[in-house]
Chain A
Amino acid sequence: MSLTEAQLSEIITASLNRALNEIPGADFSDADKKILFGKPDAILDSLNLVSFVFIIEEEFERLTGRTIKITTQDVLSSNAPPFMNLNSLKQFLSKKES
């Protein structure tokens, strides 16, 4: 069953709130205006990206009751990097789930 727009937004908002409060060394304030990962000025580096992946998986499961596994292949996809920004993340989660 695909996620609705509202569900996707809820998952991302919850994940961002947790990331802001929990991931050391990452500044998630104004995340909607920033690159998440993959560029020098991105919020995340390769070490703390993993923490963000874990949070998304946990929030996804908490809010939908279903599990999702974000693989290395997903993360490092060059066609549509899911962690470029919040829009790309939303599109990735939508496709992953459908």
Chain B
Amino acid sequence: MVKVNNPQDHKPFLVDQGCVVTYGEFDTQKKQLSQYLKQTSLNFIVLEAENNTKTYMRFLSCLDAGKIVFLCPSYQFRDASFREFVESETGTTFYWWSSSGDSVVSRATVTSHSLLTRLEDLKQAGFIVRTSGSSGQRFKLVLHNPENFVRKYHQIGCHFDKTIAFSPAESIAGIETLLETYTHGKTLICGGDRLSPASVVSMIEKYDVDYFQTTPSFLNLFVYSGYLLPERLKSLKKIAFGSEPPQGPILMEIKKKLPDLIFMHTYGMSEIGILKTMTNQDIPMEHTIDSINPFRISDGFLEVKSLTPMLGYLNAENPYTDDGWVKTMDVAQVNGNYLKILGRASDQINLAGRKFYPSEVEEHLLEMCEINDVTIIPVPNELIGTVLVAKVTVMPEIDEATFRKSFKSFCEAHLPFYMFPHKIQILRSSEVSPRSKKIRKL
């Protein structure tokens, strides 16, 4: 059961689009709902996931009631083929509880999956996370034990008072934000599912948010859209960023404007949760995984042991080594005490006999002052195997022809020849995915 440490009934747990829900109010309703759920035979539940009180209430009630629950994004929840995929891949009949469906239909759920059967027999709660399905892989369904996460938060201790529900509710980052906030009796500010730099700054300022976890792509947007305003971000003490390689020039710009801000460069996966790291505060691009989560490099790939390892995939072979390490499939290098993640093995570009990552080219190009953001997309090409397409977001006032000329000079001065982009697409605003990550497709 996920419980609040030192509960204070009057303290706000949620501020949901301005509406305050205290711990006392939330826990009273949660208790009622979980009691009701315990009386049903619905052991496997899919929730339509949104960053709001209703989703959180249902999720935590399901866990309290010993259910196994899967938070699913709306667009997939409503997709019949995705429902079929989930049920056939897991051998399970789920109850699909929509955000608009207020009553629970009494219908038994069934599973033939050994992992799920084991939890069901033990009346032990679990939650399922869908991997992001990047690099053309199909989605994997990951099963977790929530008690591992609660234990982790108690071990690490609390490091914030108020934070924002930034990550999608169904993501491992979103679930961890919710569980960590609730376990420590802190406050979670919800502003809907698609936050902008303007709305984030407003929430930080209005509610004195001290901790904000986000993605590097969102930080780019934040900086070049002009919202890095120290006078409005006075309460902010710490930011966390992960899920894709960060861009050094952006972090250094933030550091310059907010010199007392603490950076947390996180590392996480759906399979292992978000790992505690130690970040080099002078060079925030550098970090290392904290010793409570050991790591090693094997054949150039990062392997980790986590406090919150998954119980297993429900629809794939488990990526554990014989001695219990998780193979992350991220390529990494150790630099002194710090770890540098270069990218997924499948993202590596092989061109002119050289191997490198899109993030390495992007890092160089971001030094060009006219560029707000850049994404390098490798595209198959008959003639040379791969060509590099640069999607470049420039400042609105920049003339395209002039920029292209400057870009050529910049590349000649700063990039090795094999990293020269072969084609440029000029954008006036960045494109990010619903998970606020770069869209690495044309």
B420 to A, closest residue via Cβ: A24
By the criterion CB–CB under 8 Å, are A24 and B383 in contact? no
Closest chain-A Cβ to B20's Cβ sits at a distance in Å of 55
Bound together, the chains give a CA A36 to CA B382 distance in angstroms of 20
User: Chain B 399-432, CB within 8 Å of chain A: the 1/0 string?
Assistant: 0010011011001100101101011100000000
Q: Which of B351, B382, B404 contacts A21 (CB 8 A)?
A: B404
Bound together, the chains give a CA A51 to CA B407 distance in angstroms of 14
Which of A18, A24, A25, A51: most chain B Cβ within 10 A? Answer: A24
By the criterion CB–CB under 8 Å, are B417 and A47 in contact? yes
Q: Which of B407, B408, B418, B424 contacts A47 (CB 8 A)?
A: B418
User: Chain A 69-91, CB within 8 Å of chain B: the 1/0 string?
Assistant: 00110011000000000000000
By the criterion CB–CB under 8 Å, are B407 and A22 in contact? yes
Bound together, the chains give a CA A76 to CA B401 distance in angstroms of 30
Determine whether A49 belongs to the interface, using a CB cutoff of 8 Å to chain B: yes
In the complex, which residues of chain B have a beta carbon less than 8 angstroms from the beta carbon of A54?
Answer: 422-423
A71 to B, closest residue via Cβ: B382
Determine whether A42 belongs to the interface, using a CB cutoff of 8 Å to chain B: no
In the complex, which residues of chain A have a beta carbon less than 8 angstroms from the beta carbon of B407?
Answer: 22
Bound together, the chains give a CA A50 to CA B418 distance in angstroms of 12
In the complex, which residues of chain B have a beta carbon less than 8 angstroms from the beta carbon of A50?
Answer: 381, 383-384, 387, 422
In the complex, which residues of chain B have a beta carbon less than 8 angstroms from the beta carbon of A18?
Answer: 404
In the complex, which residues of chain A have a beta carbon less than 8 angstroms from the beta carbon of B412?
Answer: 24-25
By the criterion CB–CB under 8 Å, are A46 and B384 in contact? yes
Check A23/B408 contact, CB under 8 A, given A47-B352, A48-B420: yes
Give the number of chain A interface residues (Cβ < 8 Å): 18
By the criterion CB–CB under 8 Å, are A24 and B411 in contact? yes
Closest chain-B Cβ to A28's Cβ sits at a distance in Å of 11
By the criterion CB–CB under 8 Å, are A22 and B404 in contact? yes
In the complex, which residues of chain A have a beta carbon less than 8 angstroms from the beta carbon of B420?
Answer: 24-25, 47-48, 51
By the criterion CB–CB under 8 Å, are A49 and B383 in contact? yes
In the complex, which residues of chain A have a beta carbon less than 8 angstroms from the beta carbon of B422?
Answer: 47-48, 50-51, 54
In the complex, which residues of chain B have a beta carbon less than 8 angstroms from the beta carbon of A49?
Answer: 383
By the criterion CB–CB under 8 Å, are A75 and B423 in contact? no
Check A21/B408 contact, CB under 8 A, given A47-B417, A54-B422: yes
Bound together, the chains give a CA A25 to CA B414 distance in angstroms of 12
By the criterion CB–CB under 8 Å, are B415 and A24 in contact? yes
User: Chain B 349-364, CB within 8 Å of chain A: the 1/0 string?
Assistant: 0011000000000000
Closest chain-A Cβ to B392's Cβ sits at a distance in Å of 12
User: Chain B 366-397, CB within 8 Å of chain A: the 1/0 string?
Assistant: 00000000000000011110010000000000
Bound together, the chains give a CA A47 to CA B411 distance in angstroms of 14
A58-74 with Cβ < 8 A to chain B: 71-72
Check A22/B408 contact, CB under 8 A, given A47-B352, A47-B384: yes
List 22 interface pairs A-B (beta carbons < 8 Å), by A numbering. Answer: A21-B408, A22-B404, A22-B407, A22-B424, A23-B408, A24-B415, A24-B417, A25-B411, A25-B412, A25-B417, A25-B420, A47-B352, A47-B422, A48-B422, A50-B387, A51-B420, A51-B423, A53-B383, A54-B422, A71-B382, A72-B383, A75-B383
Known: A25-B417, A47-B418, A50-B384. 10 other contacts (CB 8 A): A22-B405, A22-B408, A47-B422, A49-B383, A50-B383, A50-B387, A50-B422, A51-B423, A54-B423, A75-B383
